A and B are shown apart, each in its own frame.
Chain A
C-alpha cells in the first residue's frame, strides 16, 4: 500500500533556530501533499496545501514566512519552521494525496517538535 514517511520523528531545538521536516511518499507520486499541526489533546488543523512545482496554499492564520513549504519533487515536500519559538512546539503531520482518480490521503507518522 501507499506509504508516507516523515523525518525526523522528533526534534528538539533552541528558540530562534530553524527546523526542517521532510515528508516523503515512498511508493507513489504525490502531486499534492498536506501539512497539519496538532496541539496536545486537540484535533488536527490543516496548515497548508502543497502542490508540486507551485507555491503552497496556506490556511487562514498560518504565517507563510514562518512555515516555509517546498514541494520540489513528486515524492518530497518539506516544512521549515523558521525562527522557532516555544509556542511552535507541536506535532506536525503530513499527508500525501493518492494518485489521480482517488481522494484518499495517506498520512505520515508525524514529527514531534519541541522548542526550548
Chain B
C-alpha cells in the first residue's frame, strides 16, 4: 500500500525566503505526482503535475521535482510571499486513485 509522507508538517518563514517542501513515497510504481494548494476551508488548487517519465515541472515561482528511484518529490518556492501561506499537499496517482500526503502548513510572514 502506498504511503506518502510530507515533511515538515508546518513551516514558518519570513517573506522573501526560498523554501523547499518535501514529499516521500514508498511505491515508485506511479503514473504521476501532483502538488496541490489548499487555503483554509477551501477546496484544492492544482499547482503542478509531474508525469512518471518527467523529472520536474515549473510554473512561475514554483518548481517541482520527481525522483522515483529514491521515492521523493520536492516543491521549491522561490521568493516566498505572504500570499503563499496555505497548506501544500502532494498526491501520488498509481492508477485510479490518488494517495495524499499529510500536507505542509506554510506561513510566510511579512
Contact = CB atoms under 8 A, between A and B. Distances in A.
Contacts of A49: 96-97
A72 interface: no
The secondary structure that dominates the B interface is strand
A79 interface: no
A108 B43 contact: yes
Interface residues of B, number: 22
A32 B93 CA distance: 14
A110 B100 contact: no
Contacts of A32: 96
A110 B97 contact: no
B43 A105 contact: no
B43 A43 contact: no
A34 interface: yes
A112 interface: yes
A110 B44 CA distance: 8
Interface of B: 31-32, 34, 36, 41-44, 46, 49, 89, 93, 95-103, 105
Interface of A: 6, 32, 34, 41-46, 49, 91, 93, 95, 97, 103-110, 112
